[in-house]
Chains A and B, each alone.
Chain A
Amino acid sequence: MAKIKSLDELKALRDSVQNTVDVREHGDNVEDMIIVRVAMATCGIAAGAREIMNFMAHELRDQGIDNVMITQVGCMGLCYAEPTVEVTLKGEEPVVYGNVTEEKALEIIEKHIKNGTMVDGIIPSTHKSLDE
């Protein structure tokens, strides 16, 4: 580690390590955040869910979008449509996208997360979670 030689260097270092604690800072205001859940059971991972989740995490970070909490969940039961991504805007019903590719993920970020307009590829909801 090179020595920090100025306040600007310290600030630059802070900005570069900021994301290490972001997830924890988000814990303070989960209620106000957009929640993205990626199904990461065996079927999801085999279909590439991990890559999609990492891709979305990187993309959101690169774009400086900090009101989104990404988290992995178990099997949603939609194994035929993996990878599946569920997006919940604040105060709205969750929406599940199936067969998500990197292009589709980008579209979800651009339109749904940023503007609140849904995009193609939604799987009609067939069930409700008990806690929602």
Chain B
Amino acid sequence: MSNYTMHILICGGTGCISAESDIIADEFTKELARVGMTEEVQVLKTGCFGFCEKGPIVKVLPDSTFYVEVTPDDVEELVNEHVVKGRVVDRLLFIDPSSKETIEDSKHMDFYKKQQRVALRNCGFVDPHNIDEYIARDGYQALGQSILEMSQLEVIELMEDANLRGRGGGGFPAGLKWRFTYNNESDQKYVICNADEGDPGAFMDRSILEGDPHSVVEAMAICGYAIGADKGLVYIRAEYPLAIERLQLAIDSAREYGLLGDDIMGSGFNFDIEVKFGAGAFVCGEETALIHSMEGQRGEPTTKPPFPAESGFWGKPTCVNNVETLANVPVILLKGADWFKTIGTEKSPGTKVFALAGKINNVGLIEVPMGTTLREVIYDIGGGIKDGKEFKAVQTGGPSGGCLTAKDLDTPIDFDNLLEKGSMMGSGGMIVMDEDDCMPAVARFYLEFTQEESCGKCTPCRIGTTRLFELLDKITQGKGTMEDLELMKELSHVITDTSLCGLGQTASNPVLSTLDIFWDEYVAHVTDKKCPAGQCTALLEYKITDACTGCTLCTRVCPTDAIDGKLKELHVIDQEKCIKCGACMDRCKFKAIIRE
């Protein structure tokens, strides 16, 4: 029996591990041994706390003290002060960026106050390596209840009632998907977990698999029982080594406990899971392409119907669910559909996990009830825009989504509202942009991504995205014409209407959305040959004004020797040589260098 009266939780997500959280954990073990406290204090590596901006995070319980940006060198002090003497180490506490107050525990942080953790309920709370901790949190109870006390249809009906919509982006009701797969009779069916998270900047699924892999394992088994499948497969990208390691360990320990395998808990139900690796192609997040990739074929989509529920993996009925969708399943079964529907909005019950990135103070992973407004997410949880700049737009839905602007800040976020606003939920990436971000350049970035990731099977996507990218490139170079803008609109609609799969059908969304909202900015690039945000380097010119004192500092930082001038004389920039890096402007003490 454990005597631990204090638990030290160290974030073991990929982000914090890259900031040496592994070493911090080892240091804690070492230091605790030195002071003879190993029996009283437990050191645990958990999943992601979500507050990646200030990682590595160390949380001390039961008092919930929340230390940020901890380094291995801080551990000795933390042990001497906090563990031995019970005194909080103030200098490592979080300081609220707006009120400048030091905040001792996580409960008083704005970042956590508005969050509600359902899919992430165990992330940053349990040790993902230890199945016992998951079981202590009612883990595998939902599986036991389903297979022993409920019929297959009862499970499906409960899921339909809860109206859990696919969190991978489509928003298709999971219960309905389960029913379709159940209805298709076959000697063999499959459950597939789609862990091919591909949106730039999104890491929800990775964090769930790293922080609470058992919830996904359990949910897959429940789904298997409901639809009549005895085999599950996880399609995960090979560039998620930590998630793969922890998921595999979870599968192995579940097998060891008899929670996977034959005759689970004496129910007569058999289920096992295999992990398959993807090579990281964006298109393989599309379910038919994913299935082809798993079969060893080229990762290319095929037309639907037939849907995977009818003819999926090896032509058998297959249910494909996203990681976050699955992570919700065990809680729904335990707490019921009515409980689930109390969270979120009427048409989109539950919560959604978002990865906040871009020009926002609190970069990280958050989970909020559906219907939370963008303002709450960006200003309350996200802590506002970096460096006090002006909010310009937020891109949701990654390369398939669109932009929302200041006028949409009070829109409650759910599947339908975002579609109505010309964006989409997507898998949950949120890239926040400020006044310095140029929208044509943003659209160009996403098109560069999609044209590279297009599998090339269908012409509209293969050639269309390339042409669209070329047009955007031309505009950001200042060589575009007004006809190009009209052409882009037309081309976008053609790509959307004629592409084979979701990748092509949504690829032009960032273009259409930015053309619609930021038309003036496009026009400025085309007619005035200016980039209002000052980001398109081809359209910029750095100049030195009369304020120059001739201190020669700029000539020394210029990497291309483009600045000429003698000591105490006005300097001049040679525009031919200038690469517009802005180093001189950053360095000038007299604000004598301007950009226009």
Contact = CB atoms under 8 A, between A and B. Distances in A.
B241 interface: no
A30 B140 CA distance: 28
Contacts of B1: 19, 58, 61
Contacts of B62: 23-24, 26-27, 30, 69, 71
A26 B40 contact: no
Nearest to A18: B136
B256 interface: yes
Contacts of B200: none
Nearest to A10: B144
Interface residues of B, number: 44
A20 B5 CA distance: 10
A63 B63 CA distance: 23
A57 interface: yes
Nearest to B144: A7
A1 B256 contact: yes
Nearest to A62: B1
Contact of A37 (B37, B86, B145): B86
A35 B265 CA distance: 40
A70 interface: yes
B266 interface: yes
Contact of B61 (A10, A26, A45, A57): A26
B154 interface: no
A28 B84 CA distance: 23
A13 interface: yes
A14 B62 CA distance: 21
B265 A23 contact: no
A17 B133 CA distance: 7
A71 B141 contact: no
B6 A1 contact: no
B132 A17 contact: yes
A5 B265 CA distance: 4
Given A5-B265, A50-B40, A74-B87, A10 B5 contact: no
A125 interface: no
B5 A70 contact: yes
Contacts of A14: 135-136, 138-139, 141
Interface in B31-88: 36-37, 39-40, 61-64, 83-87
B125 interface: yes
Contacts of B258: 3-5
B279 interface: no
A41 B266 contact: no
Interface centre among B1, B83, B133 (most CB of A within 10 A): B1
Contacts of A41: 84-85
Contacts of A70: 5
A17 B141 CA distance: 14
B238 interface: no
B353 to A, nearest CB: 20
B220 interface: no
Nearest to B65: A27
Given A7-B145, A17-B133, A58-B1, A27 B84 contact: no
B3 A40 contact: no
Interface in A63-90: 69-75
Contacts of A108: none
Interface centre among A1, A3, A45, A74 (most CB of B within 10 A): A3
Contacts of A19: 1-2
B314 interface: no
B135 A13 contact: yes
Contacts of A28: 107
A89 B290 CA distance: 58
A37 to B, nearest CB: 7
Contacts of A50: 39-40
Interface in B101-141: 107, 125-126, 132-133, 135-141
A114 interface: no
Contact of B125 (A24, A26, A54): A24
A57 to B, nearest CB: 6
B32 to A, nearest CB: 12
A17 B95 CA distance: 36
A1 B36 CA distance: 31
A65 to B, nearest CB: 14
B7 A24 contact: yes
A124 to B, nearest CB: 22
A36 to B, nearest CB: 9
B86 A74 contact: yes
A83 B7 CA distance: 23
B36 A45 contact: yes
A72 B9 CA distance: 17
A57 B5 contact: yes
Interface string B233-274: 000000000000000000000001111010001100000000
B40 A10 contact: no
B148 interface: yes
B90 to A, nearest CB: 12
A113 interface: no
B86 A72 contact: yes
Contact of B5 (A9, A17, A23, A27): A23
A30 B259 CA distance: 34
B85 A27 contact: no
Contact of B136 (A20, A45, A74): A20
Nearest to B257: A4
18 contacts: A1-B257, A4-B259, A4-B265, A5-B265, A7-B145, A7-B148, A7-B265, A13-B132, A17-B133, A17-B135, A20-B2, A21-B137, A23-B5, A23-B6, A24-B61, A50-B39, A53-B40, A71-B63
Given A10-B144, A13-B132, 10 more contacts: A1-B256, A9-B265, A10-B140, A18-B136, A20-B2, A20-B133, A21-B133, A24-B9, A27-B63, A71-B63
